[in-house]
A and B are shown apart, each in its own frame.
Chain A
Amino acid sequence: MERNDFDKMLRDRLERVTEPAPDVWEGIDRELTRRHRRILFRRFSIGAVAAAASLAVALLVYRDLRPERHVEAPVTTVAEVQQESSSEPAAVEIAPIAEQISRLGEDRLVAQAKTAHAAMADQSGTPISAEPVQPSEEPVKEPAAEPAEETVVSVEPANPVENEDGKLSMEDLPEDFWREDVPDTKAHTSTISILSNLTTVASDGDLIYRASPMHSSSQSGSRQATSLVEPVSGTPKFFSPFSLGLQIEFPLAGSVYASTGLTYSYLVSQYDMLVDKQLFEGSYNQLHYLGVPLSLSWHFVESPSFALYASAGGAVEKCIYQRYVFGSNTLHEKVGGLQWSARIGLGAEYWMAPRLGLYFDPSLVYFFDNGQPLSIRTQQPLQARFEIGLRFKL
């Protein structure tokens, strides 16, 4: 039999062979189910971000439409000041108000009440004694040798709108009277944050073979000119990137804050790669980045213990270490250039203690093509990121 005849006969025989593959479809079914779940998670993530954005817009609209409230008063209100014209010194009853304020456990208010009261007395030209600051059943009065008209400050749950002429309402108090008594946990103070975040991985990619090194140079970044490693066609797998960082946030103006800091990111990819012309399937690439973020945030809902904010900014990152793991070997390669990214997001922060807060900051991040090594950032430039961290007021 000639060589060609042998080849042809062999080809014909093997062409016709059929053989059922055992248990393959179960594995395929499992893998497809896993992929389906991943797709659902990706859609859920996008939906969550969209819902958060919608909520933020709704809150903004509501905030704009809502009528402004002149004073956000606590429960205790100063209702009226009974004043009768007299040239004599007047005794003032401030015990009830002091008592009520003391019940709130705010000693500072007592002093403020006294100050405010003194101011009112000055306006009316009536000397006032504000001695009694301790809770008492009896109103404390100035001793008066002669009958004197009294200026009485009493506390009752009255509606400040129902003022009558000649009566002093809470609106006559200094503007910052009540504001200062609210525990200030956030107002325009710098914070420092410890953060970590996870990024959704929505792409397994369909890596197309490229004969030349995949990481071409670009204007804003340059990778090493030659690499021993080339990704090849296959189905790369990208693990969720993980970041840790330290950020400081400081107020700029009004409810606008700026933040910057230092972040560390770790990216792992698994794909088939040619290492010095030899193929290694399912090998790993590990990337370590250090970055400096810079962002502005606007707190559109801000209360003493809770805030919602929108933020936008960017980051520049430098790959400080890259390692390939193929078979039992490892290879280190330097990575040139910088990774630039932009992000927008919405966040919420909750102050659990006067100086300790927790925040959650979902955002969308776009990684620009800066010639960086193959990773989830090059395959899926737009990513949903979920950042969580602790915030400490400085």
Chain B
Amino acid sequence: MYPVCVRYLGREDAKDVLQDGFLTVFDKIGTYKGEGSFEGWMRKIFVNACLMRIRKGDVLRYSEDISESPELGGTMDYGVMEQIGTKEILDLVAQLPPGLRSAFNLFVLDGYSHAEVGELLGITEQSSRSQVSRARSLLQEKIKKLYNGTK
């Protein structure tokens, strides 16, 4: 669960939330009904804990994140992704602006729908689409830069 927390929060905050998340798991273990995988159930708890931490610290920066995110486009080769290490990718995701990062993590990596992302983040579905798209472009750009830097 640590990598899950890292891609939402970065490494420093991830440690605190990881601890809180495990305590919540211990507290609520009795509520797990066996529906779905245990890992999935745990992941929801950690994601929820991460979202609360992000919103607490960055709620006032949401709009800045969105407005300052440039529209990026282009495509990426498979080879580029293969050349980048997993931990580097994890750190690049964690370096996304908080608002974009949350939507991107929820939609792309944790499988929530845009409607669910909108509900969780308190934004519209359209805004979720927009943020995910911008986050994806930004991440691709970062990966390319990293790839070009390591070449």
Contact = CB atoms under 8 A, between A and B. Distances in A.
A7 B56 contact: no
A279 B136 contact: no
B7 A235 contact: no
Contacts of B122: 277-279
B148 interface: no
A279 B56 contact: yes
Given A6-B140, A272-B52, A281-B55, A22 B15 contact: yes
A326 B75 CA distance: 43
Given A1-B78, A13-B89, A14-B90, A280 B7 contact: no
A281 B89 contact: no
A21 B109 CA distance: 20
Given A6-B76, A28-B22, A206-B27, A281 B3 contact: no
Nearest to B62: A278
B112 to A, nearest CB: 13
Interface string B75-100: 11110010000110110010000000
B2 A281 contact: no
A21 B90 contact: no
A235 B27 CA distance: 9
Contacts of B139: 10
B126 interface: no
Interface string A220-249: 000000000000111100000000000000
A87 interface: no
A17 B86 contact: yes
A167 B130 CA distance: 111
Contacts of B93: 14
Contacts of A3: 136
Main secondary structure of the interface of A (DSSP, over half): mixed
A10 B19 contact: no
Contacts of A272: 52, 56
Contacts of B109: 10-11, 14
Main secondary structure of the interface of B (DSSP, over half): helix
A327 B87 CA distance: 33
A7 B81 CA distance: 11
Nearest to A21: B2
B87 A19 contact: yes
A24 B5 CA distance: 13
Contact of B26 (A18, A32, A277, A281): A32
A143 interface: no
A302 B48 CA distance: 59
B19 A28 contact: yes
Interface in B122-151: 122, 136, 139-140
Nearest to B14: A21
Interface residues of B, number: 39
A282 interface: yes
Given A14-B109, A28-B22, A279 B52 contact: yes
B130 to A, nearest CB: 14
Given A206-B27, A282-B56, A233 B48 contact: yes
A1 B147 CA distance: 16
Interface centre among A1, A18, A234, by most chain B C-beta atoms within 10 angstroms, is A1
A74 interface: no
Given A11-B109, A14-B90, A24-B22, A281 B53 contact: yes
A9 interface: yes
Contact of A19 (B2, B75, B108): B2
Interface string B56-88: 100100000000000000011110010000110
A20 B3 CA distance: 9
A165 interface: no
A122 interface: no
Given A3-B136, A14-B93, A206-B27, A19 B77 contact: no
Contacts of B26: 32
A18 to B, nearest CB: 7
Nearest to B81: A9
Interface of B: 1-3, 6-7, 14-15, 18-20, 22-24, 26-28, 48, 51-53, 55-56, 59, 75-78, 81, 86-87, 89-90, 93, 108-109, 122, 136, 139-140
Given A11-B109, A24-B22, A277-B122, 8 more contacts: A1-B78, A6-B136, A7-B108, A13-B86, A14-B3, A14-B86, A17-B87, A32-B23
The 6 closest A-B pairs by CB, nearest first: A281-B56, A21-B2, A279-B55, A27-B19, A17-B86, A281-B52
